[in-house]
Amino acid sequence: MTGWTHGLVNRLVILCDLAMIGIASASYYWVWHIFAARQTALLGIIGAFIFCGVLMLGQAYRVEHYRRVRRQIVHVLVGLAPAMIAVWVIYYALVPPQPGDPEKFQPWALLTLVLLLFGRLVLARAAVAWVDRKELLVRSTVVIGDLDRAYELIERYSRDTGASGLLSFVGVFRDGGRAASNAETAGDGVPPVLGEIDDLLELAKTDIFDLVIVTKDWGDMRRIGAITRQLHRVATDVMVEMEPEVFTAGSAHVARIGERAALQVQQRPLKGSLSVLKALEDYTIASVGLIVFGPVLLLAALAIKLDSPGPVLFRQARVGLNRREFMVYKLRTMRFDPEDDGSVGAVQRDPRITRVGAILRSLSIDEIPQLLNVMRGEMSVVGPRPHVPNMLINDDLRYEAVQDYVARHRMKPGITGWAQINGMRGGIYTMEKAARGVELDLYYIEHWSIWFDIRIILLTMTKGLADTSAF
């Protein structure tokens, strides 16, 4: 049984960060003697608290991040910038400013940056590599239930994760159903069948596994309950396999309604402080974007007016948060047609697209006015793309044709999104591509973090804008 967890590794990395900031602060004091010891200690503690707090808020302390050099550098810079700004502001709030004060912080900031990068790129990466090499995060796992379902689960897990899987299946226990074959009993190419529930409980006394997975038909809930109650006496994690064709768990967890337990199968995204963080991100980027791209919009508007008759801005109904309709703003790229309801999207070499419009669409300049929608609170910078209410796929309404399509509306639509940088730009005219787009949008909603948004924005500016599928 492993004593290591992802949380333990994350806490060790946090301690490493704190140690590097502490060493940087102490070295700064002993070498430069600019501030008193108490001032240096207080400012160092404040900086360390803000650095770690920013990274925790952005979900940067995750094992998968520590293996990536570029991501580590970005995280250190993003955490250190607000920390040093806060230290600087607090210092000047307490001490009257003097000539040359800003230069006092430069060696401290540089030394802290160097030591944090050393801690992350050398110490943390070496520690994670050692953990991987020793397989300390691999969990010994047994499965109990119907043999066919158990082996199907094991095969599917191996196929999905390959060599990177963190579950090591040491055995299977039968609970009803068919008897084990000789090959299954002997463990010939598969984890061996080690008996039934009593044998599992007896084996648990040797403390050799971390996880028990129950694979029973959900129609037999009483038996599932009986198995899990018997496993209460074992100090191990217990999971019950879901049946996606019957019930999609999503982010389900146990909640309470009065004194009774209930299964909360859906959670509103971005509750509490997360919604504030997302709004801060949206309004900041939209404000800066409108200022930076203002001249581009003016030139584009002039080109549109000279190229074809009609308004510069194109307004069209789109479906937003909670399926509320709103009017999206775009630069007009097609010949003006007041009868066009948007149900038929653009296609390659669409004769409706003007000469200027083709250039604007290829560079995504026509999307810039949607920053106004962000400022109005109707859209986000990053999110599922908004579609017209009656968008068609092969003559079928999209929300009727694709399962879970409406689940996209649990979050504000975005100017760019996880789907767009994964091949969903351009027209969507097949059920397969539409379903793939919904899958990517739901993944974004369920895995949102500020770092995920930053990653999508950076990929949009590099990979996304170079995508030749846009038209």
Angle, CA 458 vertex, CA 452 and CA 461 arms, to 5°: 140
Over residues 315-370, the pLDDT tens digits come to: 888 989 888 999 999 999 888 777 665 555 666 667 788 899 888 988 889 999 99
State the pairing for strand pair 396-397/313-319. Answer: unpaired
CA atoms of 327 and 317, how far apart (whole Å)? 5
Q: How many C-beta atoms surround the C-beta of residue 197 within 10 A?
A: 15
Predicted confidence at residue 395, as pLDDT, reads 44
Predicted confidence at residue 348, as pLDDT, reads 63
Predicted confidence at residue 335, as pLDDT, reads 85
CA atoms of 345 and 394, how far apart (whole Å)? 12
Q: Using the structure block, give the residue that is written with the tokens 């396999």.
A: 241
Cβ–Cβ < 8 Å for 147, 177: yes
Cβ–Cβ < 8 Å for 150, 63: no
Q: Using the structure block, give the residue that is written with the tokens 């600019």.
A: 34
Q: Can you state the angle between helices 69-94 and 37-57, rounded to 10 degrees?
A: 140
Predicted confidence at residue 2, as pLDDT, reads 60
Q: Closest Cα partner for 216 from 184, 182, 246?
A: 246
Q: Using the structure block, give the residue that is written with the tokens 């390659």.
A: 348
215-252 exposure pattern, b = at least 16 Cβ within 10 A, e = fewer: bbeeeeeeebeebeeebeebebeeebbeeeeeeeebee
Predicted confidence at residue 398, as pLDDT, reads 47
Give the phi and the psi of residue 221 in degrees, each rounded to 5: -65, -30
DSSP letters for 128-141: HHHHHHTTTT-EEE
404 conformational bin, left if phi > 0, alpha if psi -120 to 50, beta if neither: left
Give the phi and the psi of residue 293 in degrees, each rounded to 5: -95, 5
DSSP state of 187: T
Predicted confidence at residue 135, as pLDDT, reads 87
pLDDT tens string for the chain (471 positions)?
567 888 899 999 999 999 999 999 999 999 988 888 998 999 999 999 999 999 998 888 998 899 899 999 999 999 999 999 999 888 888 777 666 666 788 899 999 999 999 999 999 999 999 998 988 899 899 999 999 999 999 999 998 887 678 899 999 999 988 999 999 999 998 999 999 999 999 988 887 788 999 999 888 889 999 999 999 888 889 999 887 666 666 667 778 787 787 877 777 788 778 888 999 999 999 999 999 999 999 999 999 999 888 899 988 889 898 889 999 999 998 887 776 655 556 666 677 888 998 889 888 899 999 999 999 999 999 999 888 876 655 444 444 445 566 778 889 999 999 998 888 776 666 777 778 888 899 889 988 888 889 889 888 887 655 555 555
Task: Kindly state the tokens that stand for 76.
Answer: 């250190």
CA torsion, points 360, 361, 365, 370, in degrees to nearest 10? 130
Task: Kindly state the tokens that stand for 18.
Answer: 């704190």
CA atoms of 120 and 117, how far apart (whole Å)? 5
Cβ–Cβ < 8 Å for 433, 469: no
Cβ–Cβ < 8 Å for 181, 151: no
| Helix, coil or strand: residue 90 | helix
Predicted confidence at residue 244, as pLDDT, reads 64
Give the dihedral sign, CA 79/85/88/89. negative
Cβ–Cβ < 8 Å for 307, 331: no
Over residues 282-300, the pLDDT tens digits come to: 999 999 999 999 999 999 9
Angle, CA 294 vertex, CA 292 and CA 299 arms, to 5°: 125
CA torsion, points 155, 158, 160, 165, in degrees to nearest 10? 150
| Helix, coil or strand: residue 97 | coil
Cβ–Cβ < 8 Å for 451, 60: yes
